[in-house]
Chains A and B, each alone.
Chain A
Amino acid sequence: MKSNTTRAVRIITGNQAAALAAKNAKVRVVAAYPITPATPVVEELSKMVETGEMKAHFILVESEHSAMAACIGASAAGSRTFTATSSHGLAYMHELLHYATNARTPVVMAVANRAIGPGWNIWADLSDSISQRDTGWMQFYCSDNQEIYDTIIMAYRIAEHRDVLLPAMVCYDGFVLSHTAMPIEITDVNDFIDEYHPVWRLDFDEPSTHGNILPPDYFMELRREVCEAHERALKVMKEVEREFYEYSGRLTPLILEEYRLEDADVAMVTMGAISSEAKIAVDELRKRGVKAGLLRLKAFRPFPKQEVVEKLGSVEKVYVFDRSVSPGFDGQLFSELKAVLWDLRSPPEVYGRIVGLGGRDVTSRVFEKAVLGELDKKWVMEVIY
């Protein structure tokens, strides 16, 4: 048996992992407002700032709207900034999420994914961050606590890269990851991430404004720049992923993760914590003679179009599982997968399933039964075990 006593491992929750990542990534300004299930991130950070363990300013704010405003201001002034939120709190930030993108402030935010009410619900659901899809933030979806730690650290390297300069959300299922404790390695990243060196910043000695009027002659250029930055981000993500692997020995995917996909006939496509359960289903299905595989999207924005097409080009069937829904249409990941696969000469059959809204538990059996054709409806309502 391996010895578990020698590694720098702690058994901590996803929220604790997020807070430690912010600390170790040399965040110097935190502005946040508590909301379940992200509250413990804010508590941990304020504790570490108070004791001096973390060298940062903690700005007390009266709302999430103000939290994001403070993060944008601090980032524009040249500080590495962090915040954490969830659900209604994220929705309340909406206006400023757009602002952070167009202002090109590389803020990184942890989002503990939670449903939006009423039907008051504090449990896991990706609808909160998926609703912010078009704000121009990069979005990463984690499937375990180690990934939360690693991704927040790597997110700063990507967001602050000269070719990118975009804000990033690191998302993880509320309670399922935010409050579940698992062993994670708290790697010292001192030599992986330096203090923030802004490309530009607001400066009292050289006064300037930004975010002022931009007439029709220029606005499209600004928006095209944002979109091109997203495309460049994919390349930077590959570099940072590789560099982090060399640094830590952990290959923590930033774009996508595949599991037994190389010879698969049927592929499942997922995001977030449910992806881990889907791996169990892949193994079970293979035991029963079904050549199943899994493609987990880690990055939802930028959407890795080319990579997805490459990975799914030769499968016969694709099952997409959304822990969110766009009322009036379908699961968002399902819609986007179909859009991307449309470019193929002979695209696979693509099916969508809505699962796990508002914290309804998603077990490996859900994936198994869907692939075996035993769940033929779009909505999977049952908890199957």
Chain B
Amino acid sequence: MGEKLGKKWEIRFHGRGGQGAVTASKILAEAAYLSGFEAQSIPFFGAERRGAPVMAFTRVSYEAIHERSQVYTPDYVIVLDPIILDAVDVFRGLKDGGSIVINTVKSPMDFQFEQGSLLVATVDATGIAIKNNLLVAGTPVVNMPMLGAFLKIFSHIELETLEEVVMKKFGKNGKANVAAVREAYESTVVEKVRGSGKPSTEDVRRKRAVTMPVSTPSPGVAGRTRFWRDFRPEVDYDVCSNCLSCWLHCPESAIQRVGSRIEIDYEFCKGCLVCSAVCPKKAIRVSREVVV
């Protein structure tokens, strides 16, 4: 026990709104607590909605946890969604020699980073979620298999303890979730990967001066929100009567009038599907976005 005093682990989750990153961080805290640790689960709340990049944090410690701040230099990072690798620097602040678990069909060697070396674990959690029918509104929910994958590189919590918490949490869906946890645990590939070892010195924290809280109309105030989209609306111009109902209702002004017709700006469309819902002609078709 002596060498364990002061030992604590900080874990950062990256996902998109609706994928269950917050639930995963809480379940991990519960499993850690049941294993005899102190634990804490912090959701990071921004102006996110379904599909927006989100974070959550878990702290696990042998001693009382006094931290109330977010996690900036995690020991572990868990990436629930491969799509956000393009939008968010998931490696940021991750300790050199730390570990990252990524939901992807790629292999650990495919990832580049600025740390000297990392333990990289990969798992096709999306595939496992689909196989076990963990779907909400057609979208695979990968949070539980990702916890299974995490335990492959985090040995302080027994798989059985996690399964017990998952079973309790999900009731009638407990069995499917536990099956996914176990399958992910067993299929996770772990490798030690070398990085560039050259951390960028650029200070990403900008100085700001704010006087009046005034904003002017502009597209994409939340950045390029195409990453938020699970479903893609497409206009069937043969059916469209150009009534402009979708143009009026789009909450992001991502539908524009171009010449005599409307066009969807896919850089900023979040896939909320309000356009499809309000279209009186059912001229806006919906399809799944391609999953990486």
Task: Tell me which of A19-27, A343-351, A356-364 binds B.
Answer: A356-364
Interface residues of A (CB under 8 A from B): 1-5, 9, 11, 37, 117-120, 122-123, 143, 173, 175-177, 179-183, 273-274, 276-277, 279-280, 361-364, 382-383, 385
In the complex, what distance in Å separates the CA atom of A5 from the CA atom of B41?
Answer: 18
List the B residue with the shortest CB-CB distance to A122: B45
B81 at the interface (CB under 8 A from A): no
By the criterion CB–CB under 8 Å, are B45 and A179 in contact?
Answer: yes
B276 at the interface (CB under 8 A from A): no
By the criterion CB–CB under 8 Å, are A120 and B67 in contact?
Answer: no
* Closest 7 A/B residue pairs (Cβ): A1-B36, A385-B72, A181-B41, A119-B213, A363-B69, A273-B68, A276-B66
Among candidates B36, B70, B210, residue contacting A119 with C-beta atoms closer than 8 Å:
B210
Among candidates A2, A4, A175, A363, residue contacting B45 with C-beta atoms closer than 8 Å:
A175
Residues in B with CB closer than 8 Å to A5 are 34
Among candidates A118, A122, A181, A277, residue contacting B67 with C-beta atoms closer than 8 Å:
A277
**What's the nearest-Cβ distance from chain A to residue B199, in Å?**
15
By the criterion CB–CB under 8 Å, are B33 and A4 in contact?
Answer: yes
Residues in A with CB closer than 8 Å to B43 are 175, 179-180
Q: A120-B213, A276-B66, A280-B66 are in contact. Are A11 and B72 (CB under 8 A)?
A: no
Interface size on B, residues (CB 8 A): 27
List the B residue with the shortest CB-CB distance to A175: B45
In the complex, what distance in Å separates the CA atom of A179 from the CA atom of B46?
Answer: 12
Residues in A with CB closer than 8 Å to B73 are 385
B275 at the interface (CB under 8 A from A): no
List the A residue with the shortest CB-CB distance to B25: A181
Q: A277-B69, A385-B72 are in contact. Are A118 and B213 (CB under 8 A)?
A: yes
- Enumerate 9 A-B pairs (CB-CB under 8 Å) in ascending A order: A4-B37, A5-B34, A9-B33, A179-B45, A180-B41, A181-B40, A364-B69, A383-B205, A385-B73
By the criterion CB–CB under 8 Å, are A181 and B72 in contact?
Answer: no
Q: Which of B1-60 contact A (CB under 8 A)?
A: 1, 26, 29-30, 33-43, 45
Residues in B with CB closer than 8 Å to A119 are 210, 213
B243 at the interface (CB under 8 A from A): no
B278 at the interface (CB under 8 A from A): no
In the complex, what distance in Å separates the CA atom of A157 from the CA atom of B65?
Answer: 29
By the criterion CB–CB under 8 Å, are A11 and B213 in contact?
Answer: no
By the criterion CB–CB under 8 Å, are B69 and A361 in contact?
Answer: yes
By the criterion CB–CB under 8 Å, are B33 and A11 in contact?
Answer: yes
Provide the main secondary structure of the chain A interface.
Answer: loop
**What's the nearest-Cβ distance from chain A to residue B213, in Å?**
4
By the criterion CB–CB under 8 Å, are B205 and A382 in contact?
Answer: yes
Residues in A with CB closer than 8 Å to B1 are 1
By the criterion CB–CB under 8 Å, are A180 and B40 in contact?
Answer: yes
**What's the nearest-Cβ distance from chain B to residue A124, in Å?**
9
Residues in A with CB closer than 8 Å to B35 are 4
Q: Which of B197-221 contact A (CB under 8 A)?
A: 205, 210, 213
Residues in A with CB closer than 8 Å to B38 are 183
In the complex, what distance in Å separates the CA atom of A385 from the CA atom of B67?
Answer: 12
By the criterion CB–CB under 8 Å, are A180 and B68 in contact?
Answer: yes
By the criterion CB–CB under 8 Å, are B69 and A181 in contact?
Answer: no
In the complex, what distance in Å separates the CA atom of A326 from the CA atom of B72?
Answer: 30
Known A119-B210, A361-B69; further 4 A-B contacts with Cβ < 8 A: A2-B36, A4-B34, A122-B45, A280-B66
In the complex, what distance in Å separates the CA atom of A255 from the CA atom of B72?
Answer: 33
Among candidates B26, B45, B70, B210, residue contacting A181 with C-beta atoms closer than 8 Å:
B26
In the complex, what distance in Å separates the CA atom of A182 from the CA atom of B35?
Answer: 15
Residues in A with CB closer than 8 Å to B69 are 277, 361-364, 385
Of the candidates A117, A173, A364, the one having the most CB atoms from chain B within 10 angstroms of its own CB is A364
By the criterion CB–CB under 8 Å, are A182 and B40 in contact?
Answer: yes
Of the candidates B45, B68, B69, B73, the one having the most CB atoms from chain A within 10 angstroms of its own CB is B68
Residues in A with CB closer than 8 Å to B72 are 363, 383, 385
**What's the nearest-Cβ distance from chain B to residue A145, in Å?**
10
Q: A1-B36, A181-B40, A183-B39 are in contact. Are A279 and B70 (CB under 8 A)?
A: no
Residues in A with CB closer than 8 Å to B205 are 382-383
In the complex, what distance in Å separates the CA atom of A119 from the CA atom of B45?
Answer: 17
Residues in A with CB closer than 8 Å to B213 are 117-120
List the B residue with the shortest CB-CB distance to A9: B33
**What's the nearest-Cβ distance from chain A to residue B110, in Å?**
30
In the complex, what distance in Å separates the CA atom of A176 from the CA atom of B42?
Answer: 8
List the B residue with the shortest CB-CB distance to A365: B69
In the complex, what distance in Å separates the CA atom of A175 from the CA atom of B66?
Answer: 16
